[in-house]
Structure 1
Amino acid sequence: MADYTAKRIEDIEAIYGGGFRRARAALGVEAFGMQVIELPPNFEDYPEHDHSEVGQEEVYLALRGSGEIEVDGETTGLDTETFVRVGPEARRKIRSGGEGLRLLAIGGVPGQPYEAPEVTKLGAPDPMAAG
C-alpha cells in the first residue's frame, strides 16, 4: 500500500468547541505541528501569544474566509493567497473577517525534532470540556 493519509477537515477530531482540529495527529504527521483553526465571523478573542519558551515558528494560511493577524503591533491580512510566517519571539493575535476564517497553522522549532503538545494528540482531553 502507498504511504499516504487523506482526511476531510470535517472528519478530523475537534476540540475547543470545534475551533481547533487535530490535523497533525489525524494525518499521522510527525515532523512538524499542523492544526486547522476555525473562527466564527468577526471573532476577536483568539488569545494573543508567542512561542518564545519553546522557540517554535509558525506559518499561517487561510483555507477559507479571511481575517488579519497582528504581529508585534503590525497588522497584515490573512487570505487564501497569502502565507504569513511568524517567528517564535513575536506576539501574534488573529482576528477573523465577516465570513469567518478557516486557518491552517504549521509550526516547528528550527533545528529540533518535533515534539507534539499533549493537547494536539488524538483522544487527549478537550481543555474546554467540563471535568
Structure 2
Amino acid sequence: MSYKALDADEMNVTWGTFRMVRHELGGTAFGLNQIDFPPYKVGPEHDEMQSGQEEIYYCISGSGTLTIDGDPVELRPGRYILVSPDAKRHPEAGEDGMSFICAGGVPGGVYEPWVPPEE
C-alpha cells in the first residue's frame, strides 16, 4: 500500500475528544492525534518523561491555551508550539472550543507506537 486516506469524521473517538490519527492510519514513525475540545474543557496536566517524546501542538480551529510549566501560551490557528518531554503541560479550550493536533516523537530515538485501549 502506498497511501491511506481517512477523514476525521470516519475515525473512532477515544475518551470523548481524541482521534488517534496515527493508529487509525496505521503509521509507525511518530505519534499524531487530533483532539476536539468543547468550550472551556481542560485537559489533564502531564509530561512525557516516561515516553521521552517531545510534542508539537497545532490549533486547527477555535482557540485556547496550552499551559506549560505554569506559563499559559495562547493556542490559536496558525501557531505551532514545541514542548520538551520534561515540561508539564495541559490544554484548555476557550469559549468557542478548540480542535488541535498533537504530534510526538523521541528526539534522536526510535518511535514506539502506543496502542489505545479498547472501548
The CA deviation at 1:109 is: 0.7
* Divergent runs of 4+, >2 A: none
**1:10 corresponds to which residue?**
9
Mapped to 2, the partners of 1:25 and 1:70 lie a distance apart of: 26
SS at match of 2:109: coil
Are 2:98 and 1:101 equivalent residues in the alignment?
yes
- Give TM-score, length-normalised by structure 1: 0.85
Mapped to 1, the partners of 2:35 and 2:19 lie a distance apart of: 6
**1:67 corresponds to which residue?**
64
Amino acid at match of 2:5: A
Mapped to 1, the partners of 2:115 and 2:24 lie a distance apart of: 14
Mapped to 2, the partners of 1:53 and 1:26 lie a distance apart of: 23
**2:31 corresponds to which residue?**
33
Q: Give the unaligned 5+ runs of structure 2.
A: none
Q: How many matched pairs?
A: 119
Mapped to 2, the partners of 1:62 and 1:107 lie a distance apart of: 15
Give the alignment of 1:114-129 within 5 angstroms.
114-119=111-116, 124-126=117-119
Q: Quick one: percent identity of the two aligned structures?
A: 36
SS at match of 1:15: coil
CA RMSD of aligned residues (A): 1.2
**1:129 corresponds to which residue?**
none
SS at match of 1:81: coil
Q: Give the unaligned 5+ runs of structure 1.
A: 127-131
Give the alignment of 1:48-59 within 5 angstroms.
48-59=45-56
SS at match of 2:6: coil
Residues 23 and 115 of structure 2 are in contact (CA less than 8 Å); yes or no, is this contact kept in structure 1? no
